[in-house]
Chains A and B, each alone.
Chain A
Amino acid sequence: MPAIAFSPELLRRYDRPGPRYTSYPTAPQFRGDFGEDELRAAALASNGDPIPRRLSIYGHMPFCVSPCFYCGCNRVITRDVARGEQYIERLCEEIDLTAPLFDRDREVVQLHLGGGTPNFFTPAQIGRLLSRLRERFSFAAAADLECSIELDPRFITADEVHALAAAGFNRASLGVQDFDPAVQEAINRVQGIKETRAIVDACRASGMGSVNIDLIYGLPRQERENFRRTLETVIEMRPDRLAIYGYAHMPKLFKAQKQIEAEELPSAEERLALLQLAISELGAAGYHHIGMDHFALPHDDLAQALERGSLQRNFMGYTTHAQTDLIGLGISAISQIGDTYSQNPRDLTGWQGAVENGRLPVFRGMRMSGDDQLRADVIQQLMCQGEVLIAPLERRHAIAFRSYFADALARLAPLVADGLVNVRHDRIRVSGHGRLLLRNIAMCFDRYLDQPVAILPPSFSRAI
């Protein structure tokens, strides 16, 4: 892929906060008047579909033994293994409360454990969680089941990886972020190349079919030179998938980020150069750019889904499985059932209290309106296919595109002028430039960005 030149002036205009659109509407739109009753009704309605959607399950495993300074995830720093034991117990109870909502012939085709650090828990504890899920839900046959877990290579042994594979995990996602010692020191995450490679090898040897590695660009002390070395090292490990997230510096929102020196952060121009470097290095190494921050080797399901136009996006990022209803378990986890979103409490006390009292721990959510569904459809297509076909969209939602989206098209006009996207009579297509600014393009179709946000002030990370 040729390097794409952006002028600093253009960059400044587009380097503004924006959502990552793992959902539309985004979580700040969720409201407190959506609770347990509404979730039950949504699950019941979803069972009533002529072909009820299959199920995805996300389990949030919030504990970490050490704070990485860049982290914006909902996590709890502790070394107290007893807390882990108690958390698994509560999760099992939440499974008991949740599973009866869904008809038993609805197969689970995707399970993902994220964090936090899922491998804060022992393989035995995770095995218990998995057995409870298998008791309460109908899991698809192994060949159709995507069972993945995020791993911190610093805190897991090869034997433990084998134990997880034996329990049924067939995908692993390893956190790396950056291999440069200076960068690692600045983010409080010192992780050797050798130990990381050993875990990649263990995943392969254990029979896990797919390994993902997460990197972050825009970290303190990152430069093109040292980031190139990180990329080369990672490419040598040959993960099937790579995610390269942009670091979002929002120390007011994420306390750990206060430890990061703002003056050590790369500029907007430098950030974009880092991203472009990653895209070109990975492209040269045979990886396909799936969209936003995701890359995959041609044989991988994601690359194949992109090829077929069947790529989807949900709270777990890009996936081949978004035509599912998603059940979120654990603190802060988000569920997507039918046309509703709902979220668990973000604090342990709130979540635990609800589960112990036999209540579904929902603290906020929303039912999508027809307009929400239409805009979600547009944004999904932009993010996953890089284009929106107008006629089928008009038919699906019974609208006249140009009049309905007159405002959005007006907002899009400067992006068209900048060559990020072109608007034809039959489709809207994202350009090569535009693929790096998908958030900005999607934001034109976001109805809520014009309005004051109900609960929290807008606090999205930067678009680039």
Chain B
Amino acid sequence: MSAPAFPRSDVRILADDGDALHFCSTCAFSQACIAEGMHKHALLDLHVLVEHVGPLHAGEHIFREGDPFVAIAAVRAGTVKTYVIDPNGEEQVLGFHFPGEVIGLSAIDGDRFPCSAVALDTVMLCRFSFQKMALLATRVPGLQRQLFRLLSRDIGRATLLAGDWAADQRMAAFLLAMSRRLSERGFSAVRFQLTMARTDIANYLRLAPETVSRVLRRFQDDGLLVIERREVEIVDQPRLNALAGPVLRD
């Protein structure tokens, strides 16, 4: 059976839940923990984990800019958008977060959230205390590495688009980054839904919405991908890689 396309649409299996002994399949930390021999019952004893939250529906906020920072949330299902409102009152999209990814990391050096987070579709979360997680991380080196990795990725994504890249390169990099992140969590790397609106993609990539469509239509005409409504199928990964190469640099 091939990997499922993101997002899962059957509400009964929206998130692949764990139980007292097993991690959720989308857990942001399970692999790091298991690699260190730290199983879930051991974590439960430490009271780090974890409150499952949701489902939240499209448009519902998880936190808003300025809310007191009490907990970090990891996405178990769906897509979360983070954004700030700039001094002109315009929304600036900071990023999109998929299952297995953590939101609110950029808040860890303050006591208030520096951005807002909103569900773009049906979202399930788990919430945990950052202090306790940090404490645990001192005992579990793999977990610390994982935390740093998530943190640097969160920052890396923001700088990714600061360069002077052409619209095609940005778009290709965006699609490939999404494909990689989803496939890391067991979703199909070649078939997924763009769960964010065209205006969100445009805002994130600093392009006009019409440009997003024009570039994607050209990709489609050139046989790089097929788009049906929100669904993307990557057909020619090597050529998309070549386009995105300079941006992704790896």
Which chain A residues have a beta carbon within 8 Å of chain B's beta carbons? Answer: 45, 47-53, 103, 105, 338, 370, 398
Contacts and interface: CB of A to CB of B under 8 A. Distances in A.
A52 B9 contact: no
B230 A49 contact: yes
B21 to A, nearest CB: 29
Contact of A370 (B9, B196, B216): B9
Contact of A50 (B4, B5, B9, B230): B230
Nearest to A395: B191
Which of A47, A51, A52, A105 has the largest number of chain B CB atoms within 10 A?
A: A51
Nearest to A103: B209
Contacts of A47: 197-199
A103 B210 CA distance: 9
A50 to B, nearest CB: 5
Given A370-B9, A398-B5, A50 B194 contact: yes
A321 to B, nearest CB: 16
Which of B201, B213, B217, B232 has the largest number of chain A CB atoms within 10 A?
A: B213
B197 to A, nearest CB: 3
Contact of A105 (B4, B196, B213): B213
Contacts, number: 39
Contacts of A48: 196-200, 230
B213 A51 contact: yes
Contacts of A105: 209-210, 213
Interface of B: 4-5, 9, 194, 196-201, 209-210, 212-213, 216-217, 220, 227, 229-230, 232
Nearest to A47: B198
B199 A52 contact: no
B216 A51 contact: yes
A92 to B, nearest CB: 27
Contacts of A49: 198, 229-230
The 4 A-B residue pairs with the shortest CB-CB distance, nearest first, are A48-B197, A105-B210, A51-B213, A50-B194
Interface secondary structure of A, over-half rule: loop
A418 to B, nearest CB: 35
B216 A50 contact: yes
Nearest to A105: B210
Contacts of A52: 198, 213
A51 B5 contact: no
A398 B213 CA distance: 27
B209 A51 contact: no
A103 B199 CA distance: 11
Given A103-B209, A105-B209, A398-B5, A50 B232 contact: yes
Contacts of B5: 398
A413 B27 CA distance: 47
Contacts of A45: 197
B66 to A, nearest CB: 27
A318 to B, nearest CB: 21
Which of B198, B200, B201, B229 has the largest number of chain A CB atoms within 10 A?
A: B229
Contacts of B213: 50-52, 105
22 contacts: A47-B197, A47-B198, A48-B196, A48-B198, A48-B199, A48-B200, A48-B230, A49-B198, A49-B229, A49-B230, A50-B194, A50-B201, A50-B216, A50-B227, A51-B216, A51-B217, A51-B220, A52-B213, A53-B229, A370-B9, A398-B4, A398-B5
A50 B199 CA distance: 9
Nearest to A48: B197
Given A105-B210, A398-B9, 11 more contacts: A47-B198, A48-B198, A48-B230, A49-B198, A49-B229, A50-B194, A50-B198, A50-B230, A50-B232, A51-B217, A398-B4
Contacts of B4: 398
A399 B200 CA distance: 31
A380 to B, nearest CB: 13
Contacts of B216: 50-51
A385 B117 CA distance: 45
Nearest to B213: A51
Which of B9, B227, B230 has the largest number of chain A CB atoms within 10 A?
A: B230
Nearest to B193: A50
A48 B200 CA distance: 8
Which of A45, A47, A49 has the largest number of chain B CB atoms within 10 A?
A: A49
A37 B197 CA distance: 19
A47 B199 CA distance: 9
A50 B212 CA distance: 7
Nearest to A370: B9
A415 to B, nearest CB: 30
